[in-house]
Amino acid sequence: MRIEFTAPGVAVPKARPRFTRSGRTYTPAKTQAFEKQIALMARQAMADAGVRRIESSAVSVLAYFYYTPPQSWTKRRKQEVVEKITVPKTTKPDIDNLKKAVLDGMNGVVFADDALVSRISAEKLYSYEFGNSTKIIVYTEDDQGTAK
């Protein structure tokens, strides 16, 4: 089984839980919206591929978080992105929080539990070609999937 999808927009990292005055916890709205978008795109990709939720197989996830370069960059730095198509992003948000948001969005949709994920690879990149987007590839261990 293999699905691949791209979610448009800026990736939102998993934020820390917030607390109300009465002591209840909640996930911030921005994080919830991103997780819902990932879940929606994953459902659509699964429907298009004609696959069902993974219940017990080991799962691998590849995640590519694309960002457009900042306007403040010099022409030279911007040209480097144009020539190389992608350049590593070494600023916030942290990649581990981005991965958490993606896995939480797919939890219960693509796989029964995110404990089934045995391998995950993620990259944060600047790119004009891909703009602000998140590309996700999910496959089971019996299927091989490598692509950018």
Single out the residue of 144, 138, 147 nearest to residue 52, CA to CA: 138
Q: What residues pair up with 61 in beta bridges, in sequence order? A: 120, 138
Q: With contact defined as beta carbons under 8 Å apart, do 65 and 131 qualify?
A: no
> 144: closest CA among 60, 41, 36?
60
How far apart, in whole angstroms, are the C-alpha atoms of residue 120 and residue 14? 16
Spell out the per-residue pLDDT of the chain, length 148, in tens: 999 999 999 999 999 889 999 999 999 999 999 999 999 999 999 999 999 999 999 999 999 999 999 999 999 999 999 999 999 999 999 999 999 999 999 999 999 999 999 999 999 999 999 999 999 999 997 765 444 4
Q: pTM to 2 decimals?
A: 0.92
From edge to edge, which strands make up the β-sheet containing 133-140?
2-8, 133-140, 59-67, 117-126, 87-88
